[in-house]
């Protein structure tokens, strides 16, 4: 049965929608990321206009993050104060993102910009994660402990210090706000939750303990993607609620299955899987930018 999507103005088979949502949900449950960075390109590949794909993916990420965050909340693994501080920067970032999104859409360079941004971002993060997880795997095999990184003193020289008891930190609010802003903007322009950026940033820059990182990032991703959805709806009329509903139903089921599958794998293995996936997407997108396209022309309505 085909489902007509009223905003995208086209029909897609319901199994495709449920399957896409489910596959992305499974990965997000397995690897602890929202999966938006995979869902947006896949939706565009299905023929959904890129503006609708980006805007609608945000609400899918809201749902899967909500599901994950509640599980973390029960474990007491959310630093609400940190999440709130990052969200402040994030909301400002979302406004900047919606503005940038509209500018790019008008200039006709949106697709190229989105691909290029993904390549840089995913390539960098995937590479770093792969190196880190390979190192951890090797260390685990040789029986040694993971080498500790040296403290970065510059973070501690910034003003406006605050205590974050749940994370056991006493740091300036500037880095969390700045990270929140960058991720909020990214989230809106690319239709991603930003978990794959925010988790490494929280671990390596803010040095938040690993046990609260996941829950805290999920909590603030809920707010950021919710804000992105509302702003996309008001500014660009690009959110397709029908598409969102089908993706979300598939996604939340897939996510819970993914969490179960993930429980059987080790942390380093999961991180390496995620790193390979991220690098794979980056290479595919890079190829798309550099290779001579089959169709040089493109058409869009007014």
* Distant-in-sequence, close-in-space partners of 130: CB < 8 Å, separation ≥ 6: 272, 275, 276, 279
Q: Toward another protein, which CB reaches closer, 201 or 226?
A: 226
Q: Toward another protein, which CB reaches closer, 122 or 275?
A: 122
Q: Toward another protein, which CB reaches closer, 5 or 275?
A: 5
State the DSSP code for 154.
Answer: G
Q: Tell me the three state secondary structure of residue 249.
A: helix
What residues line the site for another protein (CB under 8 A)?
1-4, 6-7, 9-11, 59-60, 62-67, 69-71, 74, 108-109, 111-112, 116, 222, 226, 229-234, 237, 239, 241-242, 244-245, 248-249, 252-253, 255-256, 289-290, 292-293, 295-302
Backbone angles phi, psi at 278, to 5 degrees: -60, -45
In angstroms and rounded to an integer, the radius of gyration of the C-alpha atoms of the chain is: 19
Minimum distance, C-beta of residue 70 to another protein, in the bound complex (Å): 4
Minimum distance, C-beta of residue 102 to another protein, in the bound complex (Å): 14
Q: Toward another protein, which CB reaches closer, 253 or 261?
A: 253
Minimum distance, C-beta of residue 204 to another protein, in the bound complex (Å): 28
Minimum distance, C-beta of residue 136 to another protein, in the bound complex (Å): 29
* Distant-in-sequence, close-in-space partners of 157: CB < 8 Å, separation ≥ 6: none
Q: Toward another protein, which CB reaches closer, 47 or 165?
A: 47
Cβ atoms 179, 206 nearer than 8 A: yes
CA distances from 216 to 23, 105, 152, 178, 249 (A): 24, 32, 22, 16, 24
CA separation for the pair 167, 152 (Å, rounded):
17
Q: Toward another protein, which CB reaches closer, 245 or 273?
A: 245
Minimum distance, C-beta of residue 126 to another protein, in the bound complex (Å): 19
Pairing of strands 2-5, 10-13: antiparallel
Minimum distance, C-beta of residue 298 to another protein, in the bound complex (Å): 5
CA separation for the pair 214, 222 (Å, rounded):
12
């Amino acid at each position: 049965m085909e489902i007509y999507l009223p905003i995208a103005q086209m029909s897609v088979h319901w199994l495709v929608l449920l399957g896409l949502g489910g596959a992305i949900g499974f990965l997000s449950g397995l690897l602890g990321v929202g999966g938006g960075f995979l869902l947006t390109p896949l939706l565009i590949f299905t023929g959904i206009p890129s503006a609708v794909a980006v805007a609608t993916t945000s609400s899918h990420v809201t749902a899967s993050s909500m599901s994950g965050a509640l599980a973390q909340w029960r474990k007491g693994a959310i630093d609400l104060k940190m999440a709130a501080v990052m969200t402040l920067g994030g909301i400002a970032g979302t406004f900047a993102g919606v503005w940038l999104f509209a500018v790019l859409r008008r200039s006709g360079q949106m697709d190229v910009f989105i691909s290029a941004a993904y390549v840089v971002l995913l390539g960098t993060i995937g590479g770093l994660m792969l190196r880190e997880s390979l190192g951890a795997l090797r260390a685990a095999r040789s029986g040694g402990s993971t080498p500790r990184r040296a403290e970065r003193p510059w973070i501690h020289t910034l003003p406006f210090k605050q205590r974050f008891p749940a994370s056991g930190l006493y740091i300036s609010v500037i880095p969390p706000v700045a990270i929140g802003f960058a991720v909020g903007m990214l989230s809106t322009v690319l239709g991603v939750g930003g978990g794959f950026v925010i988790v490494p940033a929280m671990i390596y820059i803010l040095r938040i303990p690993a046990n609260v990182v996941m829950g805290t990032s999920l909590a603030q991703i809920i707010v950021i993607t919710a804000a992105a959805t509302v702003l996309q709806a008001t500014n660009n009329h690009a959110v397709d609620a029908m598409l969102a509903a089908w993706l979300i139903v598939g996604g939340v089921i897939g996510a819970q299955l993914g969490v179960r599958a993930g429980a059987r794998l080790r942390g380093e293995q999961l991180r390496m899987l995620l790193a390979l996936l991220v690098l794979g997407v980056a290479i595919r997108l890079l190829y798309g930018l550099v290779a001579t396209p089959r169709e040089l022309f493109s058409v869009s309505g007014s």
